[in-house]
Amino acid sequence: MRFEQIDKKVQEAAEKHHPAYDENAWQKMEKLLNQHLPVEKDDKRRVFLLLLIFLLIGGGGFLLLSKPGNKNPDIASQSKGNNEQLVNEKKPQSENASVPGARPVTPNGVEQNTSSAETVALQDKQSPSQDTKTLRHDLTRTELGSTKQAAKNWTSNVPTKENNISAKNIDQNHQREPGKEISTIQNSTQSKKDEIVRHDVPQNIETKSDDAQTASTQTAKPPIHKEKSNWLSGFALLLSAGPDLSKAGGSDPGKLTLAYGAGISYTKNRFTLRTGVYAARKIYTAGPGDYKLSWQPSNIKFEGADADCYVIEIPVGLYYNFASKTKSHWFAGAGLSSYIMKSEKYDYQFKTSTGTPYYWPYEVKNENKHYFSVLNLSAGYNLHLSKAVSLSAEPYLKIPLSGIGVGKVQLNSTGVLFTIGIKPFK
């Protein structure tokens, strides 16, 4: 047997052999491994836990220190000091400044001849002393606070006339019965102090400021940035083109041609003023009754004329915009046009006495100008493609107010003008 075959069989036997699991053997092996091949412990987890505990303790301490009751420790200490000052100022006359009309008081707060309530009442009749001013200032800062609810509570407890009368009756009773218990005198004195404080302290110190602040908060509105009125935004440039059909009086309609041109318009509110320069060829046929010859041959008869005229038109019109929507509106208007006849070509038709037709061409240039001699009536629909660009379709009718051209023809025109409007200052 070859060596390779023996090695192969040994490998197959080793792969198929699986010894039984022994817990004791594995524990011994683990001890040996820990002894000879120790693994360094990872302290990162421990550091993370310590950091988390530190953050929790620090956050809890911050929350405890930032409670509403501990926010203003200086105010609390100041309030305590003010209360002590009020107690010291209300001590007997021997320790405090003398008050006009006051009588000696025992250390227990009992008057020797009169009650302490009478003393307070006498002090109230005099001009406001330093004691009352201090009391107002301290109670305004400490007890009223800056809350609106506290101000309302003080307002609701303002003493009425009946309360003052009852306080006076208490003072009179103390004068009549000076042998009453000390506790009764002290209670009446305390109630009288409260009435004095509530009566003297202005009730609208904090309420006015709070009400003003609340009103200003409620009425405050974000600033409205009004756009400056730009009168140039009403201007628009117009590019127009469309079919045009002419007809001379009662004759048959002529040939359909193209009218085109450019203009300018200005829109204010619902009205638009428009003008421009347009060009068109007027091709039509005029009968003998619609075309007037400046001369008439005696031996021939005029049968009519075929005209081909190149006309420059300058219209001026006022239009009213209605049924406006977000992206469209309708309009209608009227105006007057001036015709400048750049060239006029006519083919006159004559017939001799024998019935033979005769044609005679005639042409003039820059000879006739008709200012504001054509009435324009039109209406249309305007579509806003954007804030600065619009497209409109405008059917129109042009009625002459005087004769047009060499033959003084009543030249009527109709068609549809398609216009692109561009507002460069929008």
Provide the residue-wise pLDDT of the chain in tens; the chain has 426 residues: 566 777 777 778 777 766 677 778 778 888 887 777 666 555 666 777 777 787 788 777 777 777 655 445 454 455 555 555 554 555 544 444 444 444 444 444 444 444 444 444 444 444 444 555 555 555 445 554 544 555 555 555 544 444 444 444 544 544 444 444 445 555 555 555 555 545 444 444 444 455 555 555 555 555 555 555 688 899 999 999 999 999 999 899 999 999 999 999 999 999 999 999 999 999 999 999 999 988 877 788 999 999 999 999 999 999 999 999 999 999 999 999 999 999 999 999 999 888 889 899 999 999 999 999 999 999 999 999 999 999 999 999 999 999 999 999 999 999 999 999 999 997
Residues across the chain: 426
Distance of CA 124 to the CA centre of its chain: 57
Residues spanned by the domain of 199: 85-95+115-209
Angle, alpha carbons 36-41-46 (nearest 5°): 165
Angle, alpha carbons 333-334-339 (nearest 5°): 135
Residue 48 lies in a domain: no
User: Quick check: 317 and 394 in contact, CB under 8 A?
Assistant: no
Distance of CA 403 to the CA centre of its chain: 59
Q: Which helix (H) or strand (E) holds 154?
A: helix 148-156
Q: How far apart are CA 93 and CA 105, in angstroms?
A: 7
Give the per-residue pLDDT at 144. Answer: 46
Residue type, 271: F
**375 and 299 both lie in a single domain:** yes
Closest CA relative to residue 420, chosen from 192, 212, 167, 236: 236
Q: Which helix (H) or strand (E) holds 51?
A: helix 44-65
Q: Which residues pair with 309 in a beta bridge?
A: 282, 344
Residue 59 lies in a domain: no
**292 and 394 both lie in a single domain:** yes
User: Quick check: 394 and 229 in contact, CB under 8 A?
Assistant: no
Closest CA relative to residue 413, chosen from 423, 425, 398: 398
User: Quick check: 386 and 368 in contact, CB under 8 A?
Assistant: no
The whole-model pTM stands at 0.49
**200 and 263 both lie in a single domain:** no
Distance of CA 169 to the CA centre of its chain: 64
Give the per-residue pLDDT at 424. Answer: 93
Residue 309 lies in a domain: yes
**184 and 257 both lie in a single domain:** no
Contacts of residue 352, defined as CB under 8 A and 6 or more positions apart, other chains included, come to: 299, 300, 301, 358
Last residue of a domain, one of 159, 194, 209: 209
Last residue of a domain, one of 176, 209, 242: 209
Structure tokens at 99: 């008050």
**370 and 265 both lie in a single domain:** yes
**254 and 397 both lie in a single domain:** yes
**198 and 245 both lie in a single domain:** no
DSSP states of 186-204 as a string?
Answer: HHHHHHHHHHHHHHHS-TH
For 283, how many CA atoms within 13 A lie in the half-sphere containing its CB?
Answer: 8
Q: How far apart are CA 349 and CA 306, in angstroms?
A: 8
Contacts of residue 214, defined as CB under 8 A and 6 or more positions apart, other chains included, come to: 148
**304 and 187 both lie in a single domain:** no
Give the per-residue pLDDT at 59. Answer: 74
Handedness of CA 383, 385, 389, 393 (dihedral sign): negative
Residue 42 lies in a domain: no
Strand pairing report for 357-365 and 257-268? unpaired
Residue 225 lies in a domain: no
**324 and 416 both lie in a single domain:** yes
**283 and 366 both lie in a single domain:** yes
Last residue of a domain, one of 209, 224, 247: 209
Q: Residue 322: give its domain's CATH number.
A: 2.40.160.20
Contacts of residue 418, defined as CB under 8 A and 6 or more positions apart, other chains included, come to: 240, 241, 242, 391, 392, 393, 394
Question: How far is the CA of 99 from the CAs of 90, 95, 102, 103, in angstroms?
Answer: 11, 12, 5, 9
Give the per-residue pLDDT at 392. Answer: 97
**271 and 365 both lie in a single domain:** yes
**286 and 410 both lie in a single domain:** yes
Q: How far apart are CA 285 and CA 282, in angstroms?
A: 10
Residue 216 lies in a domain: no
Residue 389 lies in a domain: yes
Residue 65 lies in a domain: no
Number of domains observed in the structure of the chain:
2
